[in-house]
């Protein structure tokens, strides 16, 4: 069984939703990713926190085989973000972003992480993402996240990083922005030409579309009826996806399909509570049951009569 390396943020999130609020809850891309991936493989985490960080809050990650040697503590305060979700729970506004010690984050991999086969570069600057890739000896599958901020402001660096990764997790509006194409499928082709052969286009409540080579796979969102807080769903998806890939150590379309489904299943738990509340103690059976629901949700049999008439 391989392990997976994640480089990203550990943060305190304050969140307002129409139903409830939470102050300074554990968050950050690396946190959500690690919590999800830990159901599949050992995880190595690289991030930075301030000297105000309450380390006991991530003790559960240690118990879940997440190695925290790469979590550095720097003088100053931990990254803080506050956001508010509107009534529809899709649109949100940022109330503040205090990067704090994250502003000077310069990820250095502990030596023992440099043999990682599976690497996830969460949403940090493309320069830092590139530097991380250079520190890994012979990765089998490197995936990255990005955002509109880097697409509009750091395109050169982003293109350099895209050229050295295998997978890109991106949302549908970012596909249009990065490719300059309104059509998602045409846009995906253009982005593949920039480097990543595997694109996972996240559509939130509408599910996720994977484009791998010239094949497509679509996985719907699990029908969540108790949506509380979407924060972290994308990184949780990435954790389920990369964790499953690393566990099975097999980069085929068939296995990538399953990985997307596990990503979708894990993300569906994430949004049912604030922070990592639902990700701390899932049973494998709970996860498997959601995979089965997703299987059934898209299953249909070809009509043999129609198929015969040509």
Nearer to its own copies, 156 or 299 (CB): 299
Per CB under 8 A, the list member of 258, 263, 271, 290 interacting with its own copies is 258
Question: Phi/psi at 66 (nearest 5 deg)?
Answer: -95, 120
Q: Which stretch binds its own copies (CB under 8 A): 62-70, 97-105, 255-263, 274-282?
A: 255-263
- 219 is an interface residue for its own copies by CB under 8 A: yes
Total number of residues binding its own copies (CB under 8 A)? Answer: 49
Q: Which stretch binds its own copies (CB under 8 A): 44-52, 58-66, 109-117, 288-296?
A: 288-296
Restricting to residues 79-98, which ones interact with its own copies according to CB under 8 A? 87-89
- 111 is an interface residue for its own copies by CB under 8 A: no
Chain-centroid distance of CA 263 in Å reads 8
Nearer to its own copies, 156 or 303 (CB): 303
- 284 is an interface residue for its own copies by CB under 8 A: yes
Least Cα distance to 61 among 243, 281, 284, 285 occurs for 281
Q: Which stretch binds its own copies (CB under 8 A): 28-36, 92-100, 160-168, 182-190?
A: 182-190
Per CB under 8 A, the list member of 5, 168, 209, 245 interacting with its own copies is 209
Compute the distance between CA of residue 63 and CA of residue 231 in angstroms, rounded to an integer: 23
Per CB under 8 A, the list member of 97, 186, 252, 281 interacting with its own copies is 186
- 148 is an interface residue for its own copies by CB under 8 A: no
- 149 is an interface residue for its own copies by CB under 8 A: no
- 1 is an interface residue for its own copies by CB under 8 A: no
Distance in Å, CB of 228 to its own copies, minimum:
11
Distance in Å, CB of 152 to its own copies, minimum:
18
Least Cα distance to 120 among 63, 60, 37 occurs for 37
Per CB under 8 A, the list member of 54, 112, 114, 295 interacting with its own copies is 295
Binding site for its own copies (CB under 8 A): 87-89, 176, 182-186, 203, 205-207, 209, 215-220, 223-225, 227, 248, 254, 257-258, 260-261, 283-285, 288, 291-292, 295-303, 306-307, 309-310
């Amino acid at each position: 069984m391989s392990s997976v390396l994640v480089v990203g943020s550990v943060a305190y999130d304050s969140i307002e939703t129409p139903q409830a609020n939470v102050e300074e809850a554990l968050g950050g891309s690396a946190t959500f990713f690690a919590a999800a991936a830990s159901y599949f493989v050992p995880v190595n985490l690289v991030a930075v926190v301030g000297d105000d960080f309450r380390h006991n809050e991530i003790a559960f990650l240690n118990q879940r085989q997440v190695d925290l040697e790469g979590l550095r503590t720097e003088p100053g305060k931990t990254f803080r973000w506050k956001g508010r979700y509107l009534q529809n729970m899709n649109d949100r506004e940022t109330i503040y972003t205090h990067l704090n010690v994250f502003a000077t984050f310069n990820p250095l991999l502990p030596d023992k992480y440099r043999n990682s086969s599976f690497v996830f570069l969460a949403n940090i600057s493309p320069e830092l993402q590139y530097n991380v890739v250079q520190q890994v000896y012979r990765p089998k599958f490197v995936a990255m996240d990005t955002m509109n901020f880097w697409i509009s402001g750091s395109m050169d660096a982003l293109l350099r990083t895209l050229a050295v990764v295998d997978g890109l997790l991106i949302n549908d509006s970012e596909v249009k922005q990065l490719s300059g194409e309104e059509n998602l499928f045409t846009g995906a082709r253009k982005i593949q030409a920039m480097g990543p052969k595997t694109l996972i286009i996240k559509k939130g409540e509408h599910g996720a579309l994977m484009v791998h080579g010239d094949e497509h796979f679509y996985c719907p969102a699990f029908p969540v009826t108790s949506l509380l807080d979407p924060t972290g769903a994308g990184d949780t998806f990435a954790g389920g996806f990369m964790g499953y890939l690393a566990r099975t150590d097999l980069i085929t379309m068939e296995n990538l399909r399953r990985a997307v489904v596990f990503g979708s299943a894990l993300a569906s738990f994430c949004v049912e509570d604030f922070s990592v509340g639902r990700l701390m103690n899932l049973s494998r059976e709970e996860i498997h049951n959601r995979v089965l629901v997703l299987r059934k949700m898209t299953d249909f049999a070809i009509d043999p009569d129609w198929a015969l008439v040509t």
